[in-house]
Amino acid sequence: MKTVKHPLLHTVLGVLILAVLLFPIYWMINASLQPGGATVDTGWFPLEPDLAGYRTALAEQGDNLLTSLTVALGSVVLSLAIAVPAAYALARFRIRWANWVLFAVLISQMIPGIVISNALYSAYADLGLLNSIPGLILADSSAGIPFAILICRALMESLPDAVVEAAMVDGAGPVRAFVAVVLPISRNALITAGLFTFLFTWSDFLFALTLTTTEEVRPVTLGIYNYLGAYVADWSSVMATAVLASIPAVVLLLIAQKYVAAGATGGAVK
Amino acid sequence: MSTTTAPTTAPPLGASAADDGASRRSAGVVRPRLSMPTRQRLITLLFLGPAIAYMALFFGYPLVKNIIMGFQDYTISTFFTGEAPWVGWSNYVAVITGPLFGTALMNTIIFTIGSIAGQFLLGLGLALFFRRRFPLAGVLRSLLLLPWLIPLIVASAVWKWLLDTETGALNRLLMNTGIVDSGIPWLSSPDLALFTVIMVNIWIGIPFNAVILHGGLQGIPEELYEAASIDGASRWHAFRHITWPMLRPVVSVVLVLGVVYTLKVLDVILGLTGGGPANATQILSTQAYQLSFTTFDFGQGAAVSNMLIVLALLFAVIYLRLNRRAVDE
């Protein structure tokens, strides 16, 4: 990394670039704080912040936010429970066909979601999984599970052999060595995988759109979409919902920056 | 690595998975045991079984089912009668000769190429900019990630309003500064809408490109640039002969992932325009969605999404080959 001649000039330029790029996000927050209804001339600044938009948003979308939260947490648990042992086996067991599994995992990431929901819709209709939280958790994990396998396998492959062997020598079986030794030292990969699985599921729109048909089980992404379908008279409550739906992203960025970067590069270049 | 761990993992693998603690502690040797390969297979099954089952059910099954559905007359009545007559290639014929397919295919190509080119160039520019060391660079770089982390449908909602012809902030800005006299119909004009959704999709994709490319730039040793500058190389020469060749593997990965993602995406278009106006922003994935879930012709929807799979898999093959080459290097 090189130090530049005019560092402050760069900072100013950087701030300007970010200001332009992040203007939509500023606008979302600004609009969410405006008094409802006044759409024609929304002020450029929320000089008199009004929480009416949030009150409407919570009244109309509160249940949907809870649905999203439940589905996202469920998907994190399911994805980690399925993906982490698999990642370990792929990284450390001597399995001749391990590369084929890995190949399938990579390929699975290329399959468009519409293909999955097209086929799942009829299967779910037969199984009674439409409009159900378990149905959404299962479908949404199709983003988290391959990602978690790739991220965790990459880390577990790089674990020092000595650590795992020491546990084995102490008489632990492979299951106990995995639980007591491998899981704790893989913490970073688990957190990264968990955070991204949460974000994938929280942001899911396609499965929410295709696998739910009633209002009973409706993630917040679909709630926002339904706002957009009609003529929007009150943007402040739509934007307030949008802000609430963005909170996980912001939290992720604030508390887990290093995991985010690791996840971004890990998922792609792996 | 498998060769180094194999000898050491093999003996402990002999201990069966289920009875981990107690039995081994009691004697360990006297108990009759399963043969080693069997035990090993059980443990492998325990660790990998659930993942393989999930992948088979949620990727394998839909893939096969979709291929079959493409050859069936699979409509809403199928759900009541359970009958989906085999119709051969007629779904494909109907879709391809239909009025929409040509538009959707063309739009998919324009949307994909436009989005990727824009995301990549702007992402690369930002990656190069943030490579320099200056105050706040780290903070700014992580803020840059926000557009990528918020749900796509949230981004669509915000942009839909920003771009509104009457009340949108962008048009108000343009009119207040006197650049235009009346609001530009960004999303409601058939001539402009595709361009506009590409712009929004570029905005969403910039952070991902910038972060990955920035990561790639970090891997280029500083000494190379020092040596080049001693040799009197210009900045452009340094970029052309050092940065670009060293960054190539990362570039290919970013581009191919970008293509695969852009082919799949439908949140942005459904949120912004729903494929309209007058199908100006209809792409293959939105067409597949509408055939299946608004006209309930699952057979034709499957036919379109199967063509999408072929496109995506084509790029997947390229991705895997590039990936392997990147690893080899």
- CATH number, domain containing residue B218: 1.10.3720.10
Confirm whether B8 is domain-assigned.
no
User: Residue B315 pLDDT more than 90?
Assistant: no
Q: Cβ contacts (< 8 Å) between B326 and chain A: which residues?
A: 269
Query: How far does A4 lie from chain B, in Å, by closest CA?
Result: 6
Note the pLDDT tens digit of each residue in A203-239: 999 999 999 988 889 999 999 999 887 777 778 889 9
Confirm whether A41 is domain-assigned.
no
Confirm whether B233 is domain-assigned.
yes
Distance of CA A119 to the CA centre of its chain: 23
Closest Cβ–Cβ partner in A11, A106, A253 for B146: A253
- Residue A31: which H helix or E strand, with range? helix A23-32
> Helix, strand or coil for residue B72?
strand
Note the pLDDT tens digit of each residue in B144-167: 888 988 999 999 999 998 998 888
To 10 degrees, the CA torsion angle through B139, B143, B148, B153? 160
> Helix, strand or coil for residue B86?
strand
* Nearest residue of A to residue B200, measured between CA atoms: A24
> Helix, strand or coil for residue A3?
strand
pLDDT at B34: 60
Confirm whether B153 is domain-assigned.
yes
Phi, psi of B133 (to 5 degrees): -100, 115
Is the CB of B212 less than 8 angstroms away from the CB of A14?
no
ipTM of the complex: 0.89
Q: Cβ contacts (< 8 Å) between B212 and chain A: which residues?
A: 264-265, 268-269
Closest Cβ–Cβ partner in B146, B270, B302 for A249: B146
Q: Tell me how far CA of residue B86 lies from CA of B73, B116, B196, in angstroms.
A: 6, 39, 41
Question: Into how many domains does chain B fold?
Answer: 1
Query: How far does B179 lie from chain A, in Å, by closest CA?
Result: 18
Q: How confident is the model at residue B22 (pLDDT cuts 50, 70, 90)?
A: very low
DSSP single-letter state for residue B133: B
Confirm whether A203 is domain-assigned.
yes
Q: Cβ contacts (< 8 Å) between B295 and chain A: which residues?
A: none
Restricting to B residues 234-273, those with a Cβ less than 8 Å away from any Cβ of A are 250, 253-254, 257, 260, 263-264, 266-267, 270-271
| Helix (H) and strand (E) counts in chain A | 14, 0
Question: Into how many domains does chain A fold?
Answer: 1
* Nearest residue of B to residue A40, measured between CA atoms: B167
Note the pLDDT tens digit of each residue in B214-243: 888 888 888 888 888 888 888 888 888 888
Q: Cβ contacts (< 8 Å) between B6 and chain A: which residues?
A: 94
Burial A93-129 (b: 16+ CB within 10 A, else e): bbbeebeebbebbbbbbbbbbbbbbbbbbbebeeeeb
Note the pLDDT tens digit of each residue in B113-149: 999 999 999 999 999 999 888 888 888 888 888 898 8
Please give the residue range of the domain that contains residue B194. 99-328
Confirm whether B94 is domain-assigned.
no
Q: Name the stretches of chain A with pLDDT < 70.
A: 1-4, 36-41, 257-270
Closest Cβ–Cβ partner in B63, B136, B293 for A210: B293
Confirm whether A46 is domain-assigned.
no
Note the pLDDT tens digit of each residue in B273-289: 988 798 999 999 999 99
Query: How far does B61 lie from chain A, in Å, by closest CA?
Result: 8
- DSSP states along B264-310: H--HHHHHHTTT-STTTT--HHHHHHHHHHTS-BHHHHHHHHHHHHH
Note the pLDDT tens digit of each residue in A165-200: 777 777 777 788 888 888 888 888 888 889 889 999
* Nearest residue of A to residue B287, measured between CA atoms: A114
Closest Cβ–Cβ partner in A118, A229, A265 for B215: A265
Please give the residue range of the domain that contains residue A175. 52-268
CATH number at residue A178: 1.10.3720.10
pLDDT at B271: 92
**Residue A248 token pair:** 């996980």
Is the CB of A40 less than 8 angstroms away from the CB of B166?
yes
Query: How far does A82 lie from chain B, in Å, by closest CA?
Result: 5
Query: How far does A58 lie from chain B, in Å, by closest CA?
Result: 16
Confirm whether A225 is domain-assigned.
yes
Closest Cβ–Cβ partner in B137, B149, B257 for A252: B149
**Cβ neighbour number for residue B324 with a 10 Å cutoff:** 10
Phi, psi of B296 (to 5 degrees): 55, 35
Closest Cβ–Cβ partner in A242, A253, A257 for B154: A242
Residues paired with residue B72 on neighbouring β-strands, in sequence order: B86
**Residue A69 token pair:** 């939260």
- Determine the Cα–Cα distance for residues B185 and A191; give it in Å rounded to an integer: 44
Poorest-pLDDT segment among A9-18, A35-44, B35-44, B73-82: A35-44
Q: Cβ contacts (< 8 Å) between A269 and chain B: which residues?
A: 212, 215-216, 250, 253, 326
pLDDT at A215: 85
Q: How confident is the model at residue B16 (pLDDT cuts 50, 70, 90)?
A: very low
DSSP single-letter state for residue B172: H
State the average pLDDT over residues B84-106. Answer: 90
Confirm whether B239 is domain-assigned.
yes
Confirm whether A45 is domain-assigned.
no
CB pairs under 8 A between A and B: 330
Put simply, whether B17 touches A (Cβ < 8 Å) is: yes
pLDDT at B192: 93
Q: Tell me how far CA of residue A240 lies from CA of A121, A251, B58, B165, in angstroms.
A: 31, 17, 34, 21
